[in-house]
């Protein structure tokens, strides 16, 4: 499953601060499935959350965060996202890559 440059409640779900959105992501991922998200946010976006992944929220929803790091220019380009191009993601804005795996319950 791939989430590319989410905003609003979906971004909060990816961060783990919106329980309903994160639970929805977990529901559609089969056990063993990888959830891969690229997101970008800066202070000037005026959001009321920090760009910090709540790993405990992922665990509570049956997922394990396996990687969280800066995305490479190649990974950003591979998404083929016109929104990423408009944001100048990876050039003028930091982009985070998150990988999580849905675990058996």
Query: What CATH number is given to the structural domain containing 58?
Result: 3.40.50.150
Domain containing 6: what range? 2-102
Q: Please name which of 34, 45, 32 lies closest in space to residue 89, comparing C-alpha atoms.
A: 45
In this prediction the pTM is 0.87
Count how many domains the chain has: 1
pLDDT digits (tens, 9 = 90+) for 45-95: 777 778 889 999 999 999 999 999 999 988 988 888 887 777 777 778 889
Give the pLDDT score at 5: 85
Distances (CA, A) of 4 to 37, 56, 60, 68, 104: 6, 22, 23, 15, 25
* pLDDT top residue among 4 and 57: 57
Contact 96, 40 (CB under 8 A): yes
Helix (H, G, I), strand (E, B) or coil at 66: strand
């Amino acid at each position: 499953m791939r989430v590319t440059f989410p905003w609003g409640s979906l971004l909060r779900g990816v961060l783990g601060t919106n329980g309903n959105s994160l639970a929805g992501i977990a529901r559609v991922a089969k056990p063993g499935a990888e959830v891969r998200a690229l997101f970008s946010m800066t202070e000037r976006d005026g959001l009321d959350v920090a760009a910090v992944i709540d790993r405990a929220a992922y665990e509570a929803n049956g997922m394990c965060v396996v990687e969280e790091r800066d995305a490479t220019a190649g990974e950003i380009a591979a998404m083929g996202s016109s929104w990423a191009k408009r944001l100048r993601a990876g050039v003028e804005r930091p982009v985070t890559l998150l990988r999580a795996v849905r675990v058996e319950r």
